[in-house]
Amino acid sequence: MWDSHPKDGWYPWLQKELEGKGFQVQVPAMPEPAKPNIENWVSRLAKIVGNVDENTFFVGHSVGCQTILRYFENLPADKKVGGAVFVAGWLKLVNLETEEEKEIAKPWLETPIDFNNIKQHTTKFVAIFSDNDQWVSIDNKALFEQKLGAKTIIENQKGHISGDEGIAELPSALESIVSFSDLNL
């Protein structure tokens, strides 16, 4: 569930599409993707991103969404970003099968997130879910709406919206990022 890489699924397609529209895009490899750790992932994201402004946009998938939220939470109060798209993001998980999965998920699920602090940095949030995600229940839709005021999109039969399900393009993510910027499709 965690073990992804920059060339997985729809990431290369989105990168190419955004670069074709003039965006500079980074798709970072995160440390130990099979065992994501909050501190390691948030510090890696901070290092990669550097100085942010209102022309900086984020797209995360699964645990990457949590990483972005926790990164925003730690930004200085005066820093603003352009927006974030969360794909198969979660605040609750279901169907974790192994003790290792439960142990990896535990700090991500139990460490509180200050959503009011996060909303100081942008009000532009889109959360994309699939109606048949085996780990991310549709309950997360209401949580992202309530906690962030996110616009939510439900994709039909796309599982965890990853390369494992053969998802090679995700137009709703592209359209969301472009809608945050000054560009028009």
- If one counts every other C-beta atom within 10 angstroms of the C-beta of residue 108, the result is 21
Q: Is the pLDDT of residue 132 over 90?
A: yes
| Alpha-carbon span 160 to 135, nearest angstrom | 7
The tokens for 9 are 């699924």
How confident is the model at residue 7, as a pLDDT?
Answer: 86
Confidence of residue 35 (pLDDT cuts 50, 70, 90): very high
The tokens for 72 are 């925003």
Q: pLDDT of 113-131, one tens digit each?
A: 999 999 999 999 999 999 9
Which backbone phi and psi does 118 adopt, to 5 degrees? -60, -40
| Average pLDDT value for residue range 26-51 | 95
Q: Report yes or no: 87 and 59 within 8 Å, Cβ to Cβ.
A: yes
Q: pLDDT of 65-111, one tens digit each?
A: 999 999 999 999 999 999 999 999 999 999 999 999 999 999 999 99
Task: Give me the domains of the chain, ranges plus CATH numbers.
Answer: 11-180 (3.40.50.1820)
How confident is the model at residue 67, as a pLDDT?
Answer: 98
